[in-house]
Amino acid sequence: MGVVEELLERIEDERVDDLTVEEAILGVGYTAVRIDSGDVGLCHSLLGENPCPRGISKRAGTLRDMKALELARLAASQDLSERVVGMAALNALAHHIFQEHRYRVWRGNLLPHLLREIKPSDTVVLIGYIRPFEKPLREASSKLIILENDPTRRGRALPGSEAPRILPEADIVVITGSSIANGSIDEILSLSQDARFKAVVGASTPLLPDPLFDRGVDAVGALRVVDADSLMQIVAEGGGTREIRRAVNYLNLAPIDGC
């Protein structure tokens, strides 16, 4: 069973069958799903990896009032556009069932914590380009390698297909939550088994990190929506990471007995 399948199984155990989709917005930067509990989930829209999202567009006009769990199950679809919307619904349900006391939690950017874990001799691999992370990670380590699937964001990064060659030699691996949405997370974690420290970070990361912790992830950087109306408007108007900051709080999670 992969990460997404386990996430769905855990959510199904939480008696969320009656929750329905109130609103779904497929924005340029992010996709957002609000459920009738008021919880909102986000996922990066990944348009660079899938510029013609025909799979989900065929469902246009049918998402509102769907059972939230039914929409979340699209996170396991073979179609990337369906996976993105499914992950947004899954993340909304994860918000709904989140129990902070189960984890070690601290607020703010995960980056300072990452930097404390890095030794000057380390090779760091960043999977998914996160611009604010690039310079600090490069300066803190002996070598920073970036893997990115989206050719429009690649710059100096290598394509994700290089992961089998690069990851077994990494000391620190930082993975964007988009890797859960695009289906690469299971292979990435398998290839990263020997890394000393692994983190998953970003708006697409569910507030249900147990399947990640069970696979050796040490810390997760996610977000909690605090102004749903503002967030939905930002997503609808094409906002990206910078714009959504004013509508969310950043939460970092680790196992109680972890780092």
pLDDT interval class at 58 (50, 70, 90): confident
pLDDT of residue 259 exceeding 60: no
User: What pLDDT, on a 0 to 100 scale, did the predictor assign at position 257?
Assistant: 79
User: What pLDDT, on a 0 to 100 scale, did the predictor assign at position 168?
Assistant: 96
pLDDT of residue 190 exceeding 70: yes
User: For the residues 129-158, what does the mean pLDDT come to?
Assistant: 86
User: What pLDDT, on a 0 to 100 scale, did the predictor assign at position 145?
Assistant: 95
Q: What percent of the chain has pLDDT over 90?
A: 82
User: For the residues 217-240, what does the mean pLDDT come to?
Assistant: 96
User: What pLDDT, on a 0 to 100 scale, did the predictor assign at position 155?
Assistant: 67
pLDDT of residue 75 exceeding 60: yes
pLDDT of residue 115 exceeding 90: yes
User: What pLDDT, on a 0 to 100 scale, did the predictor assign at position 154?
Assistant: 58
How many CA atoms within 13 Å lie on the side-chain side of 168?
Answer: 3
d(CA 217, CA 175): 10
pLDDT in tens, 130-144: 889 999 999 999 999
pLDDT of residue 52 exceeding 70: no
- Name which of 106, 110, 113, 101 is nearest 130 in CA terms: 110
User: And the tokens for 228?
Assistant: 């749903």
Task: Indicate the residue type of 130.
Answer: I
What is the set of domains in the chain, with CATH numbers?
3-100 (3.30.390.100), 105-225+250-254 (3.40.50.11590)
pLDDT of residue 49 exceeding 80: no
| H-type alpha helices, the chain | 3-12, 54-57, 68-72, 80-97, 111-117, 131-140, 163-166, 178-181, 185-191, 210-213, 228-236, 241-244
What is the bridge-based pairing of β-strands 30-35 and 40-44?
antiparallel
User: For the residues 61-71, what does the mean pLDDT come to?
Assistant: 93
Tell me the sheet residues that pair with 199: 174, 219
User: What pLDDT, on a 0 to 100 scale, did the predictor assign at position 153?
Assistant: 63
User: What pLDDT, on a 0 to 100 scale, did the predictor assign at position 160?
Assistant: 86
89 contacts 35 by C-beta, under 8 angstroms: yes
Is residue 236 classed as helix, strand or coil in its secondary structure?
Answer: helix
User: What pLDDT, on a 0 to 100 scale, did the predictor assign at position 159?
Assistant: 87
User: For the residues 128-157, what does the mean pLDDT come to?
Assistant: 86
Average pLDDT score, the chain: 93
Task: Choose between 130 and 34: higher pLDDT.
Answer: 34
